[in-house]
Amino acid sequence: MIIKAITFRDNGFLTAPFVFGGEEGPEKFVPTVKYRSCLTNYLIDAGDEVILVDTGLPAGTPEEAPDENTQVYTGQDVCSYMDALAALGYKPEQVTKILVTHRHIDHTGELRSFPNAQIFVNEDETDAEEFKGLNNIVPVAFTDGPYYNFPESQKIRDGVYYIRAKGHTRGTSVVVVESDGLFYMLHGDVTYTDEALYVNRLSVVYDDVVAARETLDRVREFVQNHPTVYLSTHTPLGRENLEKKRIVDLNNPPETLPVGDVVFKTATGKYVCSVCGYVYDPAEHDGTPFEELPDDWRCPRCRQSKDKFNKA
Ligand SMILES: [Fe+2]
């Protein structure tokens, strides 16, 4: 079984409040901290059939124009989803199954472009607008029982499992592909970034926050106990994980992840000038966080630049 990444937007960003703020509240996170973003869906080449997991954005979806207030910028078009698929050497007619992680348009955009495919959708959201008028939907009731620590699953074929994982939307599902002793988890938007998986935080987008927490707990438990390659949609780490067969180790985040110090606004928010010892306290500056001071701000005592300051 071969998994391939289909990237159709790249060089975007997601801000910390958006990707971490689901439970604590977005205001707790530093808005200037940004994580790389893209749009990548995946294909499973099983030898005797081609299975898609999600189907991108509809062709012709306009690019966004980010500004300083943008929380989510999905990036620039690489090409259309269908062109990205063609570039991998596949024709729409070859696709026999589509497994939908959830209804959102950046995951369901080209569902109508595959004449020979059955479209598997969690029964809890087959009534969503995105599926209207499609006559090849297979509602999934997850009748095959538990898949490891997930209580409900449907076996799609040997080594391919569709698993109930609601929260982000009421009908979110994740796909696990077992291949060569590894578990490839194609999870849609359980997290938008891998950083959120490592620091155990929910994004601000969910239909049901209690269910989303339960799902993230299950995903983290699963990856603790099985060698898992985590395949995300909205971060280029997804395709990098695939290329490197990088196995999630929750205790050892990849070095590219700025886990820890940049996630929260510090409790005091104080910063100290490393040259003269001046303490910047937001409470004395109308509550303005140090991180939000302009780039040309200078130490009022010794005129050093912002980069000479350290967290108190
Ligand atoms: Fe989504």
Tens-place pLDDT, residues 41-71:
999 999 999 999 999 999 999 998 888 788 9
Q: How far is the CA of 109 from the centre of ligand 1 (A)?
A: 12
Q: What is the signed CA dihedral for 202, 203, 206, 208, rounded to 10 degrees? A: 20
Q: Is 115 exposed, middle or buried (0-12, 13-18, 19+ CB in 10 A)?
A: exposed
Q: Report the SS3 class of residue 280.
A: strand
**Residue 253 CA to ligand 1 centre (angstroms):** 24
List of residues 6+ apart from 59 with CB closer than 8 A: 80, 81, 82, 109, 110
169 token code pair: 């939307």
Q: Where are the domains of the chain?
A: 2-244, 271-311
CA of 168 to the centre of ligand 1 (A): 7
pLDDT in tens, 165-180: 999 999 999 999 999 9
Instruction: Please tell me the distance between residue 273's alpha carbon and the centre of ligand 1 in angstroms.
Output: 42
The CATH architecture assigned to 2-244 reads: 4-Layer Sandwich (3.60)
Distance CA 49, CA 83 (A): 20
| Structure tokens given for 261 | 């110090």
CA distance 194 to 243: 15
Tell me what the mean pLDDT of segment 102-128 comes to.
Answer: 97
Query: pTM above 0.75?
Result: yes
**Helix, strand and coil in the chain, % to nearest 5:** 25, 30, 50
Mean pLDDT, all residues of the chain: 93
Give the distance (Å) from ligand 1 centre to CA of residue 32. Answer: 22
CATH code of the region 271-311: 2.20.28.10
DSSP element (H, E) containing 9: strand 2-15
CB-based contact 140:171 (threshold 8 Å)? no
Percent of the chain topping pLDDT 70: 96
Distance (angstroms) between ligand 1 centre and the Cα of 223 equals: 21
Residues forming beta bridges with residue 14, ordered by sequence position = 35, 72
